[in-house]
Structure 1
Amino acid sequence: MSAPQASQPTVLDGIVAGALEDLAVRRAAVSEADLRAALADVDPPRDPMPHFRGPGSSVIAEVKRRSPSKGELADIPDPAALAREYAAGGAAAISVLTERRRFGGSLDDLRAVRAAVDVPLLRKDFIVTEYQLLEARAAGADLALLIVASLPGELLPRLHDYARELGLTVLVEVHDEEETARAVDLGAELVGVNARNLKTLAVDDGTFGRLAPLIPDDRVKVAESGIFGPQDVRRFVAEGARAVLVGEALVKDGAPRRAVEAMTGIRQ
């Protein structure tokens, strides 16, 4: 009998591996004690949940230069200026990509946006350690992304609990039924359903409609990927979304403030 073949690394595996290499460099330069000390100078975390639970659709607008699936999306020399446009358009929160290799982001982007706007900020990265959560809070983030697919076993609840201890609101991202069950059992208050499979980068437009009924209605459901205009927002709102996370469509739009306004406040 032939030996079982090892599973091939996925796109997500490669991204996480790169993120960990970059993390090692930052960790060598800034100790955990230094990050904890920096927390004293950071404003208390802002709570996005009242807005998400309010009437009509909420928009999480993303600062995103590129992606593994689409390559270069937009030249963003001034993330703060883009964030101010998002805030003026009524964004409930702003997501800042801080992963360097595949998305072209950095913690400096997050710090710049924090200095420019007062709306809640999401650190969007491939977080697999407590240190990254400390980094997020010290840089001014109010929310952090935890991707269920990259957090096996007890790592997910451990990081979720630690993020909450830091005062961070946690966006728990799922892609299939098993991950959704883990997020629900975790007690996640904010659940993002990503139509893009991060293991293959394929997009399934039916993902949100399939998984949303598995999430209790007392949780806030966020639709991610495949959102290019108000018509998409209306579809997801009809399927149970209270918020949408939008990156590509906004960074490529010549009028991001107007684009956010058009996606905000849509009701079923």
Structure 2
Amino acid sequence: MILDDLVTVTKKRLLRHQQVLSLDELKQTVAQLPKDTQPNFLAILKQPGLHIIAEVKQASPSKGTIVTDFPYMEIATSYEKAGADAISVLTEPDYFNGHLPYLKHINDHVSVPTLRKDFTIDPYMIYEAKANGAGIILLIVAILDDQQLINYRELAESLGMQAIVEVHTAQEVQRALKSGANIIGINNRNLKTFQVDFNNSLRLRHMIPTTIPVVAESGIKTQEDVAILVDAGFNAILMGETLMRSQQKATLIKGFKEAAL
């Protein structure tokens, strides 16, 4: 399965990174950083209206190369100018053609929170995210056990970051809630098959208390989709491929914002 392969290559990459910079050395670097380097994403999500996490992504396992021209810095700054509330940056290199330096470069040029979009499987990656400027990390329930979900979220929060705890099934929603998740993302994409079902978000939304902000992820393409999600009570959407394929990214973001009114 693709998800298993992604975890395997992430483990190998993690070992390479640790050989270059040990966890203790990375912790020392992070200890010198201010705790609150970005606006608090949880506080942003609790404000009225629909919030947009705009993604900087060149490729994916299911689609291959999405765009060949990839001025990632220009894309990120255009997202912010168009009103995006946060920017998601792919840092997974083997399947998504992402790179950790992208996160650092983008963070240095935008004022909105940045999300390290990767397959977090170890505390080392959380410290890496902080060292490269992230204000948000992603914790995928399908690849973590219950104790890891708690420990990793608490570690992120102790470093001044927030965690989006991502689910795809009803059982995963229950595990996310049990872990104390403060933000839950419902992925319409099955990470084992990479098939997308837009209605997955709608089926699972009612299981999550309204006090917890919820993000809809994947398969969101039109203003009609956005309006449906707003009516269902979503606080935010994460959009990648639709934005990356568009030649009018800023116009698209503004249109989605208008659809949420």
1:12/1:156 CA distance change after superposition, 3 Å: same
Does residue 1:44 correspond to 2:11, yes or no?
no
Match of 1:118 among 111, 115, 118: 111
Question: Could you say if the C-alpha distance between residues 80 and 252 of structure 1 is closer, same or farther in structure 2, counting changes exceeding 3 Å?
Answer: same
**Is the Cα contact below 8 Å between 2:92 and 2:118 reproduced in 1?**
yes
CA distance in 2, matches of 1:153, 1:170: 15
User: Residue in 2 aligned with 1:142?
Assistant: 135
Q: How many Å separate the matches in 2 of 1:42 and 1:65? A: 31
Structure 1 43/115 Cα, relative in aligned 2: closer, same or farther at 3 Å? Answer: farther
CA contact (8 A) 2:53 2:237 kept: yes
**Residue 194 in structure 1 maps to residue 194 in structure 2:** no
Larger radius of gyration between Structure 1 and Structure 2:
1
Indicate which of 26, 45, 50 corresponds to 1:57.
50
Q: Kindly state the Cα deviation for residue 44 of structure 1 after the two structures are TM-superposed.
A: 2.2
CA contact (8 A) 1:55 1:265 kept: no
Quick one: which amino acid aligns to residue 29 of structure 2?
A
Identity of aligned pairs, percent? 36
- Does 1:212 find its partner at 2:230? no
Q: Distance in 1 between matches of 2:260 and 2:54?
A: 18
Q: What corresponds to 1:182 in structure 2?
A: 175
SS in 1 for 2:93: coil
Residue from 148, 154, 166 that aligns with 2:159 = 166
Query: What's 1:98 paired with?
Result: 91
CA distance in 2, matches of 1:208, 1:109: 29
TM-score normalised to the size of structure 1? 0.92
Query: Matched residues in 2 for 1:200 and 1:244: separation?
Result: 21
**1:200 CA drift (Å):** 1.2
Deviation per residue, 1:176-207 (Å, 9 max, x gap): 00000011112211100001000111112221
Question: Matched residues in 1 for 2:136 and 2:115: separation?
Answer: 4
Shift of 1:41: 4.1
1:253 partner letter:
S
Alignment pair present for 1:28 and 2:23: no
Task: After superposition, give the CA deviation of every residue in 1:89-138 in whole Å (9 maximum; x if it has no partner).
Answer: 11110000000000000111101101111110000100010000000000
Q: TM-score, normalized by length of structure 2?
A: 0.95
The number of residues matched between the two structures is 259
Q: Which letter maps to 1:252?
A: R
Letter in 2 for 1:183: A
| Distance of 1:123 and 1:42 partners within structure 2 | 18
Measured after TM superposition, the shift of residue 252 of structure 1 is 0.9
Following TM superposition, the consecutive aligned residue runs of length 4 or more in structure 1 with deviations greater than 3 angstroms are: 265-268
In structure 2, the CA distance between the partners of 1:184 and 1:266, relative to structure 1 (3 Å rule), is: farther
Residue identity matched to 2:75: L
Aligned-pair distance for 1:244? 0.2
Q: Which moved more, 1:77-86 or 1:213-222?
A: 77-86
Q: Secondary structure at the match of 2:67?
A: coil
Once the two structures are TM-superposed, the CA of residue 38 in structure 1 deviates from its matched residue by 2.2
What is the alpha-carbon distance in structure 1 between the residues aligned to residue 153 and residue 46 of structure 2? 21
CA shift, 1:267, in A, is 3.7
| Whole-angstrom distance in 2 between the partners of 1:211 and 1:193 | 8
Shift of 1:245: 0.1
Q: Distance in 1 between matches of 2:209 and 2:219?
A: 23
